Amino acid sequence: MDKAYENRLTAGTYRDDVQCQLRLQPDPRDEAEQPMEAWISERLLARLRHLALAYDLPLLSRLPAIGAIAYPEIQLSSVEDELAFLFEIVTDQALLQAIAPIQEMIGRATNEPLGWSLVVEAP
């Protein structure tokens, strides 16, 4: 295999990219909870969306190219299942590292159900 594309599998390649926000947002009535935030490269978010489209994953395929989407708490276990499927079949370490915070956020939402929503915002 030619090494010309090897950099696409390295997280540092995406360091200077436009970043998209991942945010676990508490219910607006719960003033005590703070949102969790993480960032993902616009290109890696697009890669995740394209993989979801390729494998017919209904929730992750709705990830935005522009704008935002909110997954309510009731959908988070399905999003977690879709991510787990991708983690089983994808060996792209840059992508896997970039989406790991989503799993952490979903874990928090499922361990502390309070009306959370996962918001993904692209520029």
- Yes or no: domain 18-122 corresponds to CATH 3.40.1760.20: yes
**Residue 18 neighbours by CB under 8 Å, 6+ apart:** 41, 42, 123
Residue ranges per structural domain of the chain: 18-122
Q: Is residue 52 within 8 Å of residue 63, measured between CB atoms?
A: yes
**Would you write out the chain's pLDDT as a tens digit for each of its 123 residues?**
578 888 899 999 999 999 999 999 998 887 778 899 999 999 999 999 999 999 999 999 999 999 999 999 999 999 999 999 999 999 999 999 999 999 999 999 988 878 999 999 999
Angle at 122 between CA 9 and CA 22, to 5 degrees: 75
Predicted TM-score of the model (pTM): 0.91
